[in-house]
Amino acid sequence: MSGKYIVVFKASASQDKINEFMSTVKDEGGEIGHTYDGTVMKGFSATLNEKTLTKFNSLQADADSPIDFIEPDGVVTTQ
């Protein structure tokens, strides 16, 4: 399902590889939101269409993939 997601990369992922994924998002009509520099996690939030989400999810299943996980972006609250 297309929408807003957070794409988190493994600690071993290079910035060049992350930039390639961000370029793919833009090339396929998506938008990059926030980028995460590795202080807490490496990755970015983005609006992904169905095609890009499916592509990234299939790559994530590969053990050699730089993607750690993808999850829907949403509001997080604490009490």
Predicted confidence band of residue 61 (pLDDT cuts 50, 70, 90): confident
Determine, yes or no, domain membership for 28.
Answer: yes
Q: What is the pLDDT of residues 49-58, one digit of tens each?
A: 999 999 999 9
Q: What is the CATH number of the domain that holds 50?
A: 3.30.70.80
Number of domains in the chain: 1
Amino acid at 30: G
- Contacts of 47 by beta carbon, 8 Å cutoff, 6+ apart: 2, 3, 4, 5, 30, 31, 33
Q: What is the pLDDT of residues 27-44, one digit of tens each?
A: 999 999 999 998 889 999
- Is the pLDDT confidence value at 1 over 60? no
Determine, yes or no, domain membership for 13.
Answer: yes
**Domain region containing 55:** 3-72
Q: Buried b / exposed e across 15-46, counting CB within 10 Å, b at 16+? A: eebbeebbeebeeeebeeeeebeeeeebbbbb
Record the tokens describing residue 15, joined without a space.
Answer: 């910035």
CA distance to 1, 32, 48, per residue, from 21 (Å) = 19, 10, 11
Determine, yes or no, domain membership for 66.
Answer: yes
